[in-house]
Chain A
């Protein structure tokens, strides 16, 4: 899904390294790029080489991407930091698996901090998009390439093994016309009839580096204003709102449906941009909702962003299953039910 969407988004360069559970994407890219006259696929010697090849392709003006899973993303962080510093567009897909260390290959959400806090060294962030369905994977992939070009920054699509293996009918958008994309007046393509260009991140002069850091920070503020997003489900009359993203949100949605059947006023909020985080939407809900339950397939990472957004306005509860455990809607319903009654939310 992401592979085809990437090609339709004008991606013409993919470099990657085998790692489970996301090899389907690498393999799809190999055959898709081979079918394109101007497509390049490279199976790199390492995750580090792959992200650096993407850097080169991006410098040369291509829409470029790489993909991996948790341990491989750790290796790519060097390159992601350089992409952010050098203000180069690129798309990175992380199909998260259980960790830390080698962990396992089951679906997990333990890389939230790594993804949303930049992940590599230095003062930067990456845009993080978290799809929860096949269709949304396709739609957000298109957006990922557009955002990368528009804001000149790396964009991460954060999914998990469950999303990676999912089979769902998807309607793909029309392929973009590469010739109609906005020009890139910074590309390194040879200084013919223009002054030579430089793309760098070495800024030895501390005041220049500080200016660059503030410039990036202002850019992230602009991004936060322009692209932040989340989806609400049955929150209008809710007394308890579950907050979850990706696969966890799908499971939570099933649980919300169940507890609604027995009359509990429970809704779901699903952020699909994790950086920038939809703080305002949560603050808005807190005017009526005094209890939030954050559900993650981790020991609790996004819950910190929810607390930061609310600044004590409402109660924040947490339920997590790390290590590659995939909860059932039943299990979450029970958790909701118990919390609902513990907090006496049934009372007027």
Chain B
């Protein structure tokens, strides 16, 4: 019985991000990583990484936990 999971997506504004990585810490599916390129402020911003290899139940659901904890409103969340 496959449960239908919600489909979601986030965008992270590279320039608003200050690299605190609270989002990466709270993401239930570990879909946020640290970019290897500096932004203009000199931080390595967080990056949304959802690859095709991820199993269906480990994809972004648009739960918005990351955006809720982001201090800099750098994350926008889309669902549906």
A–B contact with Cβ pairs below 8 Å: the answer is no
* A interface with B by C-beta (< 8 Å): none
* B interface with A by C-beta (< 8 Å): none
